[in-house]
Chain A
Amino acid sequence: MAPTQAPNPSSLKTTFPPLTRATTLPSVSRNLATDRTLLTPEDAMYQGSPPRKQSAAGNKLQKELRMTNGENGDASGMPRRGRNKDRIRSASRRGKRVWSKLLWVKQSYPDNYTDQATFLEHLQRNPRLQPYDFWPLVADSTVIVQHVCSVIIFIVCFVGIFHRRIAPEAVVGWGSVATILGWVLWDWWVGQEESSKPLAPAIPPPPPSSISAGSSTSNLNGNPMLSRHSKSASTSSINSQALHSTPRAPNFPPSSPMSHRTSLRLSTAKSALLIYFTLLGLSPILKSLTRSTSSDSIWAMSFMLFTINIFFFDYGTPAPSSSINTGNKNIPASLSTNAALMASTVLASRLPSTGQVFSLTLFSIEVFGLFPVFRRYARQRDWRGHVALTSFLVVGAGGGVGLILGRGGDGEGLLDFPWKSGLLGVLIGVVGTGLAMGGCSWWLIGLQKYKNEIHGPWDPARPVIRRQWDDY
């Protein structure tokens, strides 16, 4: 109850309606208290822990213990008067002094006295509640859809290679072409960003030269605000110095950004070639890696690893202010990437020939290492491209699953044509994805009304420390 609502002394002389539960309770909490099973402050005061009969005396008790924080400001002024009357009566019964919430004062009230005016006055419920809207939720869920679809596409490619329905060279060829295209697009975007901020610090954000670049570029935000971007770019360069495998000049002159970028491109190409040849050398070893393990174990293991990948993937957009803390934030992301790479390695070890093993492993690096970095950046840069990419991935995943599971083109039936099952898969995939996105968003919004966060003076305070000791 706000202090401005102090009761008017003259109002005490007026007659009161009978104080029953219905008149004293605020209307909002009455509705809440009837059909919930969750613990709320009202429960603490209205029901007590023992389920008690609603006797007349019980009503009286509840009236005395009515919650008095700011929530029932919408209730009429009548309960206030009732409480004040009570208080005066009880005070006159036990002594004239007003009860105060102090322990060092010897009070004339019993120890279990509960002051209605101050009890739980500092209670806050859901102080930081942000109601969700439907369409932003759906838009945000596209990130998850993209990742799940890329995992499905990878599995489809594996199954295709395993059943010799797709040539591994085609998979890795198309994958590499797409990767190079994505990198060119990335490079162009980075160039655009640099030209849009000519006065920014010298060190530009690093290109996606290797997988480790994923963590450093996650600090970037596409927001072209100069101050924010320069800050995140400089911090990302600090991170990338630690993470990068390729050495690079730390103090590059700001006068020649083009040559710097050229050297970065060269180092990217160098690390790409390094990965290529390392994989080529490792492929024979990978091929015989799990020869002594049965295929069933491999399927189960890779399923679990992909599940880990999906659940621990870093779907969030990096907050520009918290770029210092990205060291912590990258741990689940790296767990996810490692799980996916391990899954693809054990899957690849099921394949019979070295060329297939090599193709699948390289493809997995492209899908799980580089593609998420590109997706994250593309989402911040170009929203329409992001939506287009999402639809493309959904269609691809649906069609791929349809082709793998279906048996189109085997000459049976009337409406038989080679892409029948693929088209069916696309249809089911698109409809299913749409329903899932909408349904989950709607469900989450529906669940939000059960949110009941209680804060009060008993919570540990958050210390506000102005100056950080930056050496530890």
Chain B
Amino acid sequence: MPYNIAMVSDFFFPQPGGVESHIYQLSTKLIDRGHKVIVITHAYEGRTGVRYLTNGLKVYHVPFLVMYRSASFPTVFSFFPIFRNIVIREEIEIVHGHASLSSLCHEAILHARTMGLRTVFTDHSLFGFADAASILTNKLLKFTLSDVDHVICVSHTCKENTVLRASLDPLMVSVIPNAVVAENFRPLFHPSYPNLSEFGTNVVPLPQHLGHHDTITIVVISRLFYNKGTDLLVAAIPRILANHPNVRFIIAGSGPKAIDLEQMLEKNVLQDRVEMLGPVRHEEVRDVMVRGHIYLHPSLTEAFGTVIVEAASCGLYVVCTQVGGIPEVLPAHMTVFAKPEEDDLVAATGRAIAALRANKVRTEDFHDQVKKWYSWTDVARRTERVYDGISGVLSEADFYGYEAADAASWSATRGRAGVQSFALIDRLKRYYGCGIWAGKLFCLCVVIDYLLFLFLEIWAPRDAIDIARNWPKKVKKERAISAGSTFR
């Protein structure tokens, strides 16, 4: 059954990034599956109001004060009037928020629950429990996620983290990984993509074999920040280059640690063996990747690590640190894992070089395997199952995995079919458990939000809000799908 879904996040195009492309790809694939999807984000430079993207994806750029790195200022209630208007106008049934640092998403989830909508939250990042910023974010996350229908995490480590941070029931957290658009990350030569040279002939060269004296190129594409492990990289590159004479590096990306990298190159006189490309656009990442044989990813924390999947899809052998969700992402025949230590990283890179030289790694198969494992169509299908579960289409036993006999007595706060109740008193109960002081404060916020909702219902009645017409393409598609299903 088709749903009307609103994706809410502070992070969306035109700003580039992982969350942004996740929202876009997921929305596109959900539209392909017959749902109606809109995106609500804050206004970017020169982009306010409503925009349509490819495939009829409607984007609302709400004017909002941007505080830091495109995260909007957290005003608990100010988003409500316009959010309610959009939701009623677009007949939204499910509100899907993204990214835990986006206050727009948290507000939307709170208001959506007040309005009686189903909510889903997708967490894209890992947080510790030690520093002050994390503690504050965790408290806010707990506030929002006290009353959410389902949470999606991008890896199992991320799930454990989110369950701990927001004190969630693990069964209401699903793990749905990110995916890659395999067509955009294809290897240099691949049978399924005819490689047209300038003479118009289809060139499919033989699989290349690396001898003992061929040059192996190691690619690093990352923002050069501390938590991306640039210090490890700076320490490891001279040693790798000293151990292996026929090895070159290509480093793309920019950031505050770029100076350290350049100093290291100056000091060790490695300019002819290490190529620094500076920042590259996301479209150009593939063209950089296919120049190399090994992708080195020295990150210190990573929820999923989309870039290593992209590298494997380009046919690169991956050397990465064993942190966060990375060990879950790729199988052992595609990767060499290293501890986040200089010595181990050097050793792992050495192992990878030796394996490539011995032709033990069948990198030409990587693309098809990754394409099979990580596709956005699959992600959209699995996300749809979550929507089915929270809307009561799937029975509780199917969705949460209990026997049907237990379903009736399972929970006081879940209403019919494994769905959390919208009654204000039940919501207040859930918020009250957040902490001695925080619980009362959260309850106060929820009550005010509810009063605001009642006020808005009187002040701007539903009848006065026009219903937006749907993108015509969607209707056509639906008809095609239904026609296809009847023929089958």
Interface string of A450-462 (1 = CB under 8 A from B): 0001111111111
Give the Cβ gap from A462 to chain B, nearest Cβ, in Å: 7
Interface string of A41-55 (1 = CB under 8 A from B): 101110111111101
Q: Are A110 and B399 in contact (CB under 8 A)?
A: yes
Which listed residue (B126, B169, B172, B436) contacts A458, Cβ 8 A?
A: B126
Q: Are A49 and B232 in contact (CB under 8 A)?
A: no
> Restricting to A428-470, which residues have a CB under 8 Å from any CB of B?
453-467, 469
Which listed residue (A53, A101, A453) contacts B130, Cβ 8 A?
A: A453
Instruction: Please give, as numbers and ranges, the residues of chain B lying within 8 Å of A454 by CB-CB distance.
Output: 129, 164
Asked if A65 is at the interface of the complex by the 8 Å CB criterion, the answer is yes
Q: Are B264 and A55 in contact (CB under 8 A)?
A: no
Q: Please, how many angstroms separate the alpha-carbon atoms of A112 and B120 in the complex?
A: 13
Give the Cβ gap from B96 to chain A, nearest Cβ, in Å: 15
Q: Please, how many angstroms separate the alpha-carbon atoms of A106 and B375 in the complex?
A: 12
Which listed residue (B157, B301, B339, B399) contacts A460, Cβ 8 A?
A: B301
Asked if A120 is at the interface of the complex by the 8 Å CB criterion, the answer is yes
> Restricting to B389-433, which residues have a CB under 8 Å from any CB of A?
399-402, 406-407, 409-413, 420, 429-430, 432-433
Find the B residue at minimum CB distance from A104.
B373
Most buried by B among A45, A52, A60, A471: A52
Asked if A58 is at the interface of the complex by the 8 Å CB criterion, the answer is yes
Q: Are A461 and B321 in contact (CB under 8 A)?
A: yes
Find the A residue at minimum CB distance from B405.
A57
Which listed residue (A459, A460, A465) contacts B235, Cβ 8 A?
A: A465
Give the Cβ gap from A22 to chain B, nearest Cβ, in Å: 19
Q: Are A457 and B323 in contact (CB under 8 A)?
A: yes
Find the B residue at minimum CB distance from A106.
B373
Q: Please, how many angstroms separate the alpha-carbon atoms of A459 and B435 in the complex?
A: 24
Q: Are A104 and B128 in contact (CB under 8 A)?
A: no
Q: Are B227 and A460 in contact (CB under 8 A)?
A: yes
Instruction: Please give, as numbers and ranges, the residues of chain B lying within 8 Å of A415 by CB-CB distance.
Output: none
Stretch at the interface among B274-282, B324-332, B470-478: B324-332
Q: Please, how many angstroms separate the alpha-carbon atoms of A39 and B432 in the complex?
A: 14
Asked if A405 is at the interface of the complex by the 8 Å CB criterion, the answer is no
Asked if A102 is at the interface of the complex by the 8 Å CB criterion, the answer is yes
Asked if A37 is at the interface of the complex by the 8 Å CB criterion, the answer is yes
Asked if A61 is at the interface of the complex by the 8 Å CB criterion, the answer is yes
Find the A residue at minimum CB distance from B323.
A461
Q: Please, how many angstroms separate the alpha-carbon atoms of A50 and B434 in the complex?
A: 9
Instruction: Please give, as numbers and ranges, the residues of chain B lying within 8 Å of A471 by CB-CB distance.
Output: 267
Q: Please, how many angstroms separate the alpha-carbon atoms of A112 and B402 in the complex?
A: 12
Q: Are A472 and B342 in contact (CB under 8 A)?
A: no
Q: Main SS of chain A's interface residues?
A: loop
Q: Please, how many angstroms separate the alpha-carbon atoms of A45 and B374 in the complex?
A: 30
With A50-B413, A472-B263 already in contact, the answer to whether A466 and B342 are too (CB < 8 A) is yes
Q: Are B429 and A111 in contact (CB under 8 A)?
A: no
Q: Please, how many angstroms separate the alpha-carbon atoms of A44 and B164 in the complex?
A: 6
Which listed residue (A90, A111, A458) contacts B301, Cβ 8 A?
A: A458
Q: Are B374 and A104 in contact (CB under 8 A)?
A: yes
Q: Are B127 and A458 in contact (CB under 8 A)?
A: yes
Q: Are B411 and A45 in contact (CB under 8 A)?
A: no
Asked if B56 is at the interface of the complex by the 8 Å CB criterion, the answer is no
Which listed residue (A44, A111, A458) contacts B157, Cβ 8 A?
A: A458
Find the B residue at minimum CB distance from A56.
B409
Asked if A252 is at the interface of the complex by the 8 Å CB criterion, the answer is no
Q: Please, how many angstroms separate the alpha-carbon atoms of A104 and B267 in the complex?
A: 42
Interface string of B174-187 (1 = CB under 8 A from A): 11110000000000
Asked if A123 is at the interface of the complex by the 8 Å CB criterion, the answer is yes
Q: Please, how many angstroms separate the alpha-carbon atoms of A207 and B420 in the complex?
A: 72
Give the Cβ gap from B338 to chain A, nearest Cβ, in Å: 11
With A458-B127, A460-B301, A466-B343 already in contact, the answer to whether A111 and B174 are too (CB < 8 A) is yes
Q: Are A458 and B430 in contact (CB under 8 A)?
A: no
Q: Are B410 and A58 in contact (CB under 8 A)?
A: yes
Instruction: Please give, as numbers and ranges, the residues of chain B lying within 8 Å of A103 by CB-CB distance.
Output: 155-156, 175, 177, 304, 325, 328-329, 373
Instruction: Please give, as numbers and ranges, the residues of chain B lying within 8 Å of A60 by CB-CB distance.
Output: 402, 406
Q: Are A39 and B235 in contact (CB under 8 A)?
A: no
Asked if A114 is at the interface of the complex by the 8 Å CB criterion, the answer is yes
Q: Are A463 and B433 in contact (CB under 8 A)?
A: no
Which listed residue (B142, B343, B429) contacts A50, Cβ 8 A?
A: B429
Find the A residue at minimum CB distance from B429.
A51
Find the B residue at minimum CB distance from A102.
B328
With A110-B401, A460-B128, A466-B343 already in contact, the answer to whether A55 and B409 are too (CB < 8 A) is yes
Q: Are A461 and B340 in contact (CB under 8 A)?
A: yes
Q: Are B146 and A90 in contact (CB under 8 A)?
A: no
Give the Cβ gap from A111 to chain B, nearest Cβ, in Å: 4
Asked if B71 is at the interface of the complex by the 8 Å CB criterion, the answer is no
Instruction: Please give, as numbers and ranges, the residues of chain B lying within 8 Å of A120 by CB-CB distance.
Output: 160, 163-164
Q: Please, how many angstroms separate the alpha-carbon atoms of A41 and B167 in the complex?
A: 8
Find the B residue at minimum CB distance from A462.
B340
Instruction: Please give, as numbers and ranges, the residues of chain A lying within 8 Å of B351 by CB-CB distance.
Output: none
Give the Cβ gap from B412 to chain A, nearest Cβ, in Å: 4
Most buried by B among A55, A457, A472: A457
Instruction: Please give, as numbers and ranges, the residues of chain A lying within 8 Å of B97 by CB-CB distance.
Output: none
Q: Are A101 and B435 in contact (CB under 8 A)?
A: no
Give the Cβ gap from B441 to chain A, nearest Cβ, in Å: 14
Q: Please, how many angstroms separate the alpha-carbon atoms of A44 and B173 in the complex?
A: 12
With A57-B402, A459-B128, A464-B341 already in contact, the answer to whether A114 and B170 are too (CB < 8 A) is yes
Give the Cβ gap from A295 to chain B, nearest Cβ, in Å: 39
With A44-B164, A90-B401, A459-B128 already in contact, the answer to whether A53 and B174 are too (CB < 8 A) is no
Q: Please, how many angstroms separate the alpha-carbon atoms of A90 and B403 in the complex?
A: 10
Instruction: Please give, as numbers and ranges, the residues of chain B lying within 8 Å of A123 by CB-CB distance.
Output: 160, 164
Q: Please, how many angstroms separate the alpha-carbon atoms of A57 and B386 in the complex?
A: 22
Which listed residue (B158, B167, B300, B304) contacts A48, Cβ 8 A?
A: B167
Instruction: Please give, as numbers and ranges, the residues of chain B lying within 8 Å of A467 by CB-CB distance.
Output: 235, 342
Which listed residue (B128, B168, B176, B435) contacts A111, Cβ 8 A?
A: B176
Q: Please, how many angstroms separate the alpha-carbon atoms of A103 and B177 in the complex?
A: 7
Asked if B234 is at the interface of the complex by the 8 Å CB criterion, the answer is yes
Q: Are A101 and B402 in contact (CB under 8 A)?
A: no
Q: Please, how many angstroms separate the alpha-carbon atoms of A460 and B230 in the complex?
A: 13
Q: Are B329 and A104 in contact (CB under 8 A)?
A: yes
Find the B residue at minimum CB distance from A45.
B170
Give the Cβ gap from A54 to chain B, nearest Cβ, in Å: 10
Q: Are A469 and B264 in contact (CB under 8 A)?
A: yes
Q: Are B410 and A55 in contact (CB under 8 A)?
A: yes
Q: List 30 A-B contacts (CB under 8 A).
A: A39-B167, A45-B170, A47-B433, A48-B167, A49-B145, A49-B168, A49-B433, A51-B413, A53-B411, A55-B409, A55-B410, A56-B406, A103-B155, A111-B386, A112-B175, A113-B401, A123-B160, A453-B130, A457-B160, A457-B323, A458-B160, A458-B324, A459-B126, A459-B130, A463-B231, A463-B341, A464-B340, A469-B235, A469-B263, A469-B264
Interface residues of B (CB under 8 A from A): 126-130, 142, 145-146, 150, 152, 155-158, 160-161, 163-164, 166-177, 227, 229, 231-232, 234-235, 260, 263-264, 267, 300-301, 303-304, 321, 323-325, 328-331, 339-343, 373-374, 382, 385-386, 399-402, 406-407, 409-413, 420, 429-430, 432-436
Closest 7 CB pairs of A and B: A464-B341, A111-B174, A57-B406, A461-B340, A48-B169, A458-B126, A460-B301
Interface residues of A (CB under 8 A from B): 37, 39, 41, 43-45, 47-53, 55-58, 60-61, 65, 90, 101-104, 106, 110-114, 119-120, 123, 453-467, 469, 471-472
**Apart from A47-B167, A464-B340, what 15 extra A-B contacts exist at CB < 8 Å?**
A49-B434, A55-B409, A55-B411, A57-B402, A57-B409, A61-B402, A110-B385, A112-B172, A112-B399, A114-B170, A123-B160, A458-B301, A460-B323, A464-B342, A465-B231
